[in-house]
Structure 1
């Protein structure tokens, strides 16, 4: 979650960069893989456009949340194998790992990323989704890791992230067989957070992104980094890191800021509950 260079903000509404569609509504940006005729396979043109889109998003201080999704009936089926067949040199022309790899760029974004998976997410496409902060899916989503079938070792983090999400045995089942799992099983295994009918997927992703956009951005960033740290360290070290962050942050918290945010917390709670029950002043800690 590194610092990004500042540049011109992404415009409101829709804009296109070749096979990548961008749709901005206020503080929320949708990045849409738009090669539906190829099931959003990642050719060099789409990879380059997505890289530019990620850079622009990371440099836009007005953005608070990002939704990553695919047009048509797939999220993405991964690297375009037809392109590789036609030009084997394309294997060396890609950023398979390091700071310029798509997955690393997504993970480095200062804004949280929601992957909205409406269809197959396969191999490299699954790795893109796993680079997001969390995934939601439609009932038509399916997930598979076919690296071992294709003969290319994972390089965007799948071999490390997938077992952390679903456990060693389930990760072995997916990666050693290449078999698909459906959305219901993905939810049961902890790969996705929620499953919705296809028509409800994007509205739900936008709702979640809007909720993220309402948070206090500096605190949200600190919490996000601490959660990420939990996957990389033991409990004692993680708790120590939390204490350090808290002690550094608490002197800057003012009573006026708490009062203003408390009102926001109560308003959101009422909206989510669908009833006008007033808060008791709790909910901050």
Structure 2
């Protein structure tokens, strides 16, 4: 399911789509996590590109919810310090997301964890906070500005590509036919930086994230999941 290619300092991770993360497919998430960590440790890689080739980056998953028991597997794979999202947010290499079509749930969480995002002009971004407890609000506030992040979190609005660029969630919006070429060009520009420069820049960024409490917010994912589960049980009523 996960295809990896390394060429010219760029490690490209290509999948049909990332909706499996919203469905809490632990096997897929762990394979993706291992792939990201391996590329981050590869001295021939400066940029990691996350790419979906199925038409939508992360289509909507109705009734998505974390496991009811908030199992050790879920905490290790999705919410843990060595899990997928923190491995991306604190990655030693530059992470670029290439977004086409719908980006919902965990897809938007991946965008928040990445460094740069290029989106097709027909793409759209759903709030990850309604379905994905691992979605990091501090990252959203740092990326979009606090008032915009709060609005996105509490309303669950879907942002079209133009609005996503306006609020800072997306770095660049291009026609769909030019998306891949623009991502490849962006990655090539990043690779012009020496490897040591890439690593030092990411270490400085990680210090900023730590100072703002990104790691502490990730640690609260289990709490968010418990609150979500209780809300779902309340809405469902007695059986």
Of 186, 193, 203 in structure 2, the residue corresponding to residue 215 of structure 1 is 193
Q: CA deviation at 1:41?
A: 4.8
- Classify 1:35/1:183 alpha carbon distance in 2 versus 1 (closer, same or farther; 3 Å): closer
For residue 148 of structure 2, what is the aligned residue in structure 1?
Answer: 170
Question: 2:73 aligned to 86, 93, 100, which one?
Answer: 93
Q: Is 2:173 the counterpart of 1:191?
A: no
Q: How do 1:101-116 and structure 2 match up within 5 A?
A: 101-116=83-98
Q: Deviations over 1:204-257 (max 9, x none)?
A: 1111111222211112322333344445559xxxxxxxxxxxxxxxxxxxxxxx
* Worse-matched range after superposition: 59-68 or 92-101: 92-101
Structure 1 unmatched runs, 5+: 1-18, 235-285
Task: Indicate if the aligned counterparts of 2:10 and 2:47 stay in contact, CA closer than 8 A.
Answer: yes
Whichever of the two has the greater Rg, that structure is 1
Equivalent residue number for residue 128 of structure 1: 110
| 8 Å contact from structure 1 (residues 75, 121) kept in 2 | yes
Task: Name the CA shift for 1:221/1:52 in 2 (closer, same or farther; >3 Å).
Answer: closer
Give the C-alpha shift of residue 104 in structure 1: 0.7
2:30 pairs, out of 45, 48, 64, with: 48
**Distance across 2 between alignment mates of 1:33 and 1:73:** 11
Residue 70 of structure 1: how far off its partner (Å):
1.6
Q: How far off is 1:105 after superposition?
A: 0.8
Give matches, 1:154-165, under 5 Å: 154-157=133-136, 159-165=137-143
C-alpha change, 1:197 and 1:74, in structure 2 (3 Å) is same
Match of 2:16 in 1: 34
Alignment of structure 1 residues 221-240 onto 2, 5 Å: 221-230=199-208, 233=211
TM-score w.r.t. the length of structure 2 is 0.75
* Alpha-carbon distance in structure 2 between the residues aligned to 1:58 and 1:166: 26
Unmatched runs of 5 consecutive residues or more in structure 2: 213-239
Partner secondary structure for residue 49 of structure 2: strand
Q: Distance in 1 between matches of 2:102 and 2:21?
A: 10
1: CA distance, partners of 2:191 / 2:152:
34
TM-score using structure 1 length: 0.64
Judge conservation of contact 1:116–1:201 (CA < 8 Å) in 2. Answer: yes
Distance 1:211 1:91 in 2: 42
SS of residue paired to 2:103: strand
For residue 69 of structure 1, give the secondary structure of its aligned residue in structure 2.
strand
